[in-house]
Structure 1
Amino acid sequence: MKNGLPLKVLPPYLFFLALLSLISCQEAAPKADLILTNANIWTGSESQPSAQAIAVLADTILAIGSNSELEKYKGHTTEIINVGNRFITPGFIDSHVHLLMGGNSLLNVELRDAQTPEEFTRRIADFAETIDPGTWIMEGNWDHTLWGGELPKKEWIDPYTQNNPVAVYRLDGHMVFANSAALDFAGIDKDTPDVPNGEIVRDDKGIPTGILKSNAMGLLLDKIPPLTKTQKKKALKEASHYFLSHGVTSVHDVDSLGTAEVAQELLDSGELSLRIYSAKPLNRWKEAQRKISSDELWLKTGIVKGFIDGSLGSHTASFMEPYTDKPADNGLFINSEANLYQWISEADKAGLHIQVHAIGDNAIHTLLEIYERIVKENGKKERRLRIEHAQHISKQDLHRFGELDIIASVQPYHAIDDGIWAETLIGPERVKTTYAFQSLLDAKTILAFGSDWPVAPGNPLTGIYAAVTRNTLDGKNPNGWVPEQKISTEEALRAYTKNGAYASFDETVKGTLEPGKLADFVILSEDIQKIDPKKIREVKVMATYLGGKLVYENDQKEN
């Protein structure tokens, strides 16, 4: 080649064009490295929705079609795998994860399903017994609604954690719970003033209970020693294995913990095993202008992530009308509208991709106003502006998503979790456009699905189950919570594959199974389009292929 580059470093579509050029000069078809036969393939492509076999050369799909059509690509060294009519989809793309936070949570105490204060306390106490004195106990991702709504108090765990500071998140990331050791470390006491758009929860004597909300979390979190590079690499490897085991081959990482820099080191050493689209904080948008990676098929930057409000469960999501259960409370803005406009406008002018967290209807409306203003002021271009979560949308704003070409980056699992208690907080009328997936599709909106892991499980099959059934976790809505917002299995599949690629400007290289695209695909135990939707969450990932290489295989040989 004239530029001296080896063919393998070319993007897949350029590789494929070069391959076609080579084939045109020869009579024989190229020979595949791998061919999977007797498969039930959902390609995600409108031109060829289904297929029976797929051929791979290097990291790229060489051909896709029937068993007989792919015979010509068999060579002496081609590996042939008969998958026995298993269901194959494009590799899942999770459009919203906290990668290092999640990886670190796998190495820390697990509180997500603690059902009682006693179990919550016991898990922390037991974990403290396994670590060295002085080691921080982090992550956790607890949910106080599981035991009736009482927020944890530092007195619960202080007797067991005198030698270990504790700072564990509520599952939505908008509250943190600290023990006395951590509060003392940060200098937080009864004389510490509250901060704007945040709260230090106190008892009737004004003494902090251990709960810090929204911006008040920074009083503690900003003083915790950051993860070392070694810890970050370990967390990233743990997270990658976790996602591959669930069929996820690409993620959009919204952490601001330095994922891209660590991922680049793993890429350089040949240890990176997950494709990553890594965000920087919106208010530090200038940092995102630096190109981190020379191989954007594996590690891509250029996106910035901001916040406008908090979460529903912590009463910090911003609503136009007060919370039903707290008539004096409308939630809050984490950042001012003026600051958000300035940051978004500047980042947009710099050519960066923008995603902003907005949950309450007031936050979503405000963000739509800012986006519309930016488009008018900065001129039309291919922006693919994203709203992260977009959970509680005002009826009058639904149509604006499609009209403004806004991508709704949503997490369906939250619907079957929040659906247990959301109506208590916002009433029966507002829940009609909560997690409004079908209404968004009707408004010609691109839905990109994600998990928000570790806030929620990072299993796309669970997310698809949630979007299709809307059966809440307590089992009290067997026909679906707000059933008119249920969508089809194929629409959910598309949101976890093709639309995820579109949401990162990667639709030419992945998201569907087509010749010339990356050979990222997943083999499932059953065809999720044909089984009872309520059984989707029971389906197993049998194998995950990344760039044509087997990177995960389920030990179970049968369903």
Structure 2
Amino acid sequence: MTTPADSPAEAPVRIVRARRITTLEGRDTQVFATVGERVAAVGEQAERYAALPGAETVDLGDVHVVPGFHDAHCHPTTLAQTRLRLDLESGDTATPPRARIAARVAATPPGQWIVVERYNPRADPDGRLDRAALDALSAEHPILVIHFSCHMAVAGSRALELGGFHDDGAVPTGGDLGRDAAGRLDGWIYEGAWFDQWYRAAGEPSYLPEDAPGDLLAPLAEVFREFQSFGITSYCDALTAPKELKLYQQAREQGLLTMRVGMLIWHRYARTLRDAGLHAGFGDEWLRVVGVKLMVDGALAGGTCLCQDPYRAETGSDNGLQLMDDAELAAAVLAAHSAGQRVGVHANGDLAVAKVLDAIEAARAAYPESRVNHRIEHCSLVDPALVGRIRAAGVTPVPFGAFVHGHGAKLRGYYGDARAERACDHRAFLDAGVTVGGSSDHPAGPLGPLLGIQTMVTRRTSEGDVLGEDRRLTVREALSVYTAGSAHATGESHLKGRIAPGMLADFAVLGDDLFASDPDGIGAVPVLSTWVGGRRVWEA
């Protein structure tokens, strides 16, 4: 612990005061001290620092200070790229998708790509887009419209051709291609078929036009400000490739990296990490490798996740898709585990979760000396037996925070009442003694951690329905999920998630007391300012 006697003379000293400070390390307090980027003392011990020469007192007043929110699974670089494309969730959202795409076609020279983001077919007043609809807008432009879940896309004929998709072609492993009544491709590209285009292996030509990292710096800085406006101080970018790593490096070199970033590297590049001897946690407090990203099944809200019991999937089949076969999954997990790399495996359905646990249990048995906590991303549909296995294997689930709020009707529609009421079951994990990370999966889900906390506390959907009343958390439990729980998920419990001596001085200032707020209004609690390393990086 840093004391006044050994405080570095060059490090700024601040005494932070507020009506209520929730530390998640013992009792709440009204004061803490920071030296440089770290918390030095909390409570009465912090008062000693006020006597130091140059100590600054920051009196925040009648506010509630909480540890900075840490989103353990989101996609900020995808969001930055979205800002350079046609984003159907921003701008003139009242205009139907076809009309917005037509306007983009008119403004784009023939032959150039038109990439559209965040399409929700269920909200399209003109009906679900398909190949014919896109061809009617333009046969000269390659048009690709990406589903809001990012797990599927719909393409026009020219875009299908550039991707190597043909009416008489084989269905790619781990994916599916939609077809019309005549057996012709209808333009829809699902899961593995889509991801193999989106993240091609190193050395392969890119499917979509590449944005230079320099072009993405300004949009990424805008994303940082948006995240900070929600009180987020750290996040894990849950699907990154070398181009994203270069982008973050440039942002840091140019002084634009105002958030702490962890990265899950797409598994196609895992061997490069292993050959370089890089294990989980390589990096520093600003930019680090969290682990390797794998995907076993599809999307919860997109209706393509792999379940034990059948349901009417979005592809028209009676179940979702398995993106990696069992042998490939087992080999990838074993290779990562043996090298000390954390895996973050996307698995929504209960059958997919079981397959991931099979692979992790086998890897732990083969290399018991490696104790890194592996992750299951989303881990959306589980039963008591799976929860028990998760605890025994030392796995950290990272469920969606606000999906029950944002996609409740879809969950009932796809999976039925019983499964929907147990979706994103933070309660089951906490009751079993399993540490859980908080995540938005933004832009696939709502970003705000406070809305995520509200959803975990109320289990109320945007339609006013309640999914699983007995699955509710307390406010303190939900706050801990989005702070200390997320820090555990990224292997940073020693640095983040609490306001305690030695921890990074990352915190959010809220205009209302979370513990005194109406549970259904937690998402509307104002964020007044966000602080990273003891420095204010955003203010309302």
Q: Distance in 2 between matches of 1:473 and 1:525?
A: 23
Residue number in structure 2 paired with 1:271: 256
The equivalent residue for 1:346 is 335
What's the CA shift for 1:429? 3.1
CA distance in 2, matches of 1:114, 1:422: 28
What's the CA shift for 1:472?
A: 0.9
Deviation, 1:220, is 4.9
Aligned to 1:226: 210
Q: TM-score, normalised by structure 1?
A: 0.86
Q: 2:426 aligns with which of 429, 437, 443?
A: 437
What SS does the aligned partner of 2:536 have? strand
Distance 2:63 2:326 in 1: 50
Summarize the Cα distance change of 1:74–1:32 in structure 2 as closer, same or farther, 3 Å threshold.
farther
State the superposition RMSD in angstroms. 3.0
SS in 1 for 2:344: strand
| Deviation of the 1:341 alpha carbon | 0.5
Q: For 2:196 and 2:209, how far apart are their aligned partners in 1? A: 13
Give the number of equivalent residue pairs: 528
Q: Which residue of 2 aligns with 1:39?
A: 19
Q: Which runs of 5+ in 2 are unaligned?
A: 201-206
Q: Structure 2: how far apart are the matches of 1:328 and 1:219?
A: 21
Q: Are the structure 2 counterparts of residues 370 and 233 from structure 1 closer, same or farther at C-alpha, using a change threshold of 3 Å?
A: same
Equivalence for 1:375 = 364
Q: Which residue of 2 aligns with 1:515?
A: 501
Q: How much has 1:332 moved relative to structure 2?
A: 2.2
Equivalent position of 2:60 in the other structure: 83
Task: Name the structure 2 match of 1:494.
Answer: 480
CA offset at residue 132 of structure 1?
A: 6.3
In the alignment, structure 1 segments of 5+ residues that lack a partner are 1-15, 555-559
Q: Which residue of 2 aligns with 1:482?
A: 468
Q: What corresponds to 2:307 in structure 1?
A: 319
The separation in 1 between residues aligned to 2:94 and 2:176, in whole angstroms, is 22
CA distance in 2, matches of 1:114, 1:177: 21
Query: Are residues 86 and 126 of structure 1, via their aligned partners in 2, closer, same or farther at CA, if it must alter by over 3 Å?
Result: farther
Q: Aligned residue for 2:239? A: 255
Q: Which residue of 1 aligns with 2:537?
A: 551
The secondary structure found in structure 2 opposite 1:312 is: coil
Alignment-derived partner of residue 8 in structure 1: none
Q: Distance in 2 between matches of 1:219 and 1:254?
A: 17
Q: Once the two structures are superposed, what CA deviation does each residue of 1:32-78 show, in whole Å capped at 9, x if it has no partner?
A: 533322331111113xx311123222212232226x95264255644
Contact 1:469 1:486 in 2 (8 A): yes
- SS of match in other structure, 1:506: coil
Q: Is the 8 A contact 1:104 1:139 kept in 2?
A: no
Distance 1:151 1:107, change over 3 A: same
In structure 2, the CA distance between the partners of 1:295 and 1:378, relative to structure 1 (3 Å rule), is closer
Distance 1:115 1:188, change over 3 A: farther
- Residue 317 of structure 1 aligns with an amino acid whose one-letter code is C
Residue matched to 1:528? 514
User: Does residue 1:505 correspond to 2:486, yes or no?
Assistant: no
In the aligned structure 1, how far is the partner of 2:19 from the partner of 2:105? 48
Q: Which residue of 1 aligns with 2:42?
A: 64
8 Å CA contact retained: 2:295, 2:324: yes
* Aligned mates of 1:386, 1:357 — CA distance in 2: 9
Aligned-pair distance for 1:137?
3.6
Which amino acid is the alignment partner of residue 73 of structure 1? A
- Does 2:90 match 1:101? no
The aligned counterpart of 1:9 is none
Compared CA separation, residues 156 and 341, structure 1 to 2 (3 A):
same
Residue 305 in 1 paired to residue 281 in 2? no
2:33 corresponds to which residue?
55
> Per the alignment, do residues 286 and 39 of structure 1 end up closer, same or farther by CA in structure 2, a change over 3 Å counting?
farther
1:125 and 2:74 are equivalent in the alignment: no
1:495-554 Cα offsets, whole Å, 9 max, x none, are 111111111221112211112221111101111121111011111211011111111010
User: 2:267 matched to which residue of 1?
Assistant: 282
When residues 406 and 543 of structure 1 are mapped into structure 2, their CA distance, relative to the original with a 3 A threshold, is same
Pair 313,247 (structure 1): closer, same or farther in 2 beyond 3 Å: closer
Residue number in structure 1 paired with 2:204: none
Q: How far 1:116 moved relative to its partner?
A: 10
Query: How far 1:319 moved relative to its partner?
Result: 1.3
Partner-residue secondary structure (3-state), 1:453: coil
Q: Is the 8 A contact 1:419 1:472 kept in 2?
A: yes
